[in-house]
């Protein structure tokens, strides 16, 4: 399973990067305010830098402690070093998304994607050397990064849903106008609590089941003995000594 996963991800992770790039071009065309929030870009301009890290200040319309790479923002976001990126100041304050949430959620998602790519490349390099199944450190690394795909999905949806605020339908229907007047906060809280309870039951049950299988180890089935051929004296699942009425 590990070998199959490494081969599959060697193709799928770069494909995901490509799809993400195409989605970014789509967002720039149809939801430019979301893109500006994701990049914490306040001023419209060309040859804009790529902001690796910053602390966006929405009230003062600026970034603190920004770490940027010149020109790379335009190159990635428009595929043109001279490409123009619209800044958040082009929209009224009440039409701007919560910048900090979209900014950091996007970087969490991208950071996890790059980490996944690194793990896949390391794993396949170790496969060539014949060490992928013997390296305790690499197997422990795989165990640690296993939940990160789920975290990346949550970060991606946070980017999408927070980034399009305050719109339900971009530039047409505001979120505040699309809430049913008959739906109360109590209704939402009860529904949300139901989801939480269901997942609190399912996830621990699944983890306990997998842990039980892992504790038995890969030799558990072999220890039970082989299933012999021929016609059995009783059904395979029946206990020897059951009444003859239960036998075929």
Q: How far apart are the first and last CA of the chain?
A: 39
Look at the chain and report how many structural domains it folds into.
2
| Residue where a domain stops, chosen among 122, 157, 177 | 177
Domain presence at residue 237: no
Q: What number is the average pLDDT over the span 4-10? A: 89
Domain presence at residue 236: no
Q: Please state, in angstroms and rounded to a whole number, the distance separating the CA atoms of residues 211 and 104.
A: 33
- Residue-level pLDDT at 231: 65
Q: What is the pLDDT of residues 184-199, one digit of tens each?
A: 888 889 999 999 999 9
Residue in 49, 29, 51 with CA at minimum distance from that of residue 38: 51
- Residue-level pLDDT at 99: 96
**Quick one: 12 and 122 in the same domain?**
yes
Residue in 168, 40, 37, 44 with CA at minimum distance from that of residue 97: 37
Q: What is the pLDDT of residues 23-37, one digit of tens each?
A: 999 999 999 999 999
Domain presence at residue 246: no
Q: Which two tokens stand for residue 155?
A: 């970060």
Domain presence at residue 224: no
Q: How confident is the model at residue 22 (pLDDT cuts 50, 70, 90)?
A: very high
Q: How confident is the model at residue 127 (pLDDT cuts 50, 70, 90)?
A: confident
**Quick one: 208 and 131 in the same domain?**
no
pLDDT value at 87 more than 90:
yes
Q: What number is the average pLDDT over the span 113-134? A: 89
103 Cβ contact partners less than 8 Å away, ≥ 6 residues apart: 37, 38, 39, 40, 54, 56
Q: Please state, in angstroms and rounded to a whole number, the distance separating the CA atoms of residues 159 and 164.
A: 8
Q: What is the pLDDT of residues 219-242, one digit of tens each?
A: 765 655 555 566 666 665 555 555
Q: What number is the average pLDDT over the span 140-147? A: 91
**Quick one: 190 and 73 in the same domain?**
no
Write down the mean pLDDT value for the chain. 88
pLDDT value at 68 more than 90:
yes
pLDDT value at 86 more than 90:
yes
Domain presence at residue 226: no
pLDDT value at 66 more than 90:
yes
- Residue-level pLDDT at 133: 87
Domain presence at residue 239: no
Domain of 190, in residue numbers = 180-217
Q: How confident is the model at residue 141 (pLDDT cuts 50, 70, 90)?
A: very high
58 Cβ contact partners less than 8 Å away, ≥ 6 residues apart: 96, 98, 99, 100
pLDDT value at 77 more than 80:
yes
- Residue-level pLDDT at 52: 94
């Amino acid at each position: 399973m590990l070998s199959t996963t490494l081969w599959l991800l060697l193709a799928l992770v770069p494909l995901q990067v490509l799809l993400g790039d195409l989605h970014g071009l789509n967002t720039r065309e149809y939801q430019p305010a979301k893109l500006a929030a994701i990049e914490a870009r306040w001023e419209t301009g060309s040859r804009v830098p790529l902001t690796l890290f910053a602390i966006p200040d929405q009230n003062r319309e600026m970034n603190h402690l920004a770490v940027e790479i010149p020109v790379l923002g335009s190159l990635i976001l428009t595929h043109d070093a001279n490409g123009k990126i619209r800044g958040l100041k082009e929209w009224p304050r009440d039409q701007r998304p919560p910048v900090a949430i979209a900014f950091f959620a996007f970087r969490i998602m991208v950071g996890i994607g790059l980490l996944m790519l690194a793990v896949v490349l390391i794993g396949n390099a170790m496969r060539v050397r014949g060490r992928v199944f013997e390296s305790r450190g690499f197997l422990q690394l795989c165990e640690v990064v296993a939940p990160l795909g789920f975290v990346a999905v949550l970060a991606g949806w946070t980017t999408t849903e927070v980034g399009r605020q305050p719109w339900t339908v971009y530039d047409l229907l505001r979120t505040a106008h699309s809430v049913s007047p008959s739906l109360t906060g109590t209704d939402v809280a009860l529904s949300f609590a139901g989801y939480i309870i269901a997942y609190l039951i399912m996830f621990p049950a699944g983890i306990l089941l997998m842990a039980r299988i892992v504790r038995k180890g890969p030799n558990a089935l072999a220890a039970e003995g082989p299933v012999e051929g021929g016609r059995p004296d009783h059904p395979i699942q029946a206990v020897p000594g059951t009444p003859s009425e239960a036998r075929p």
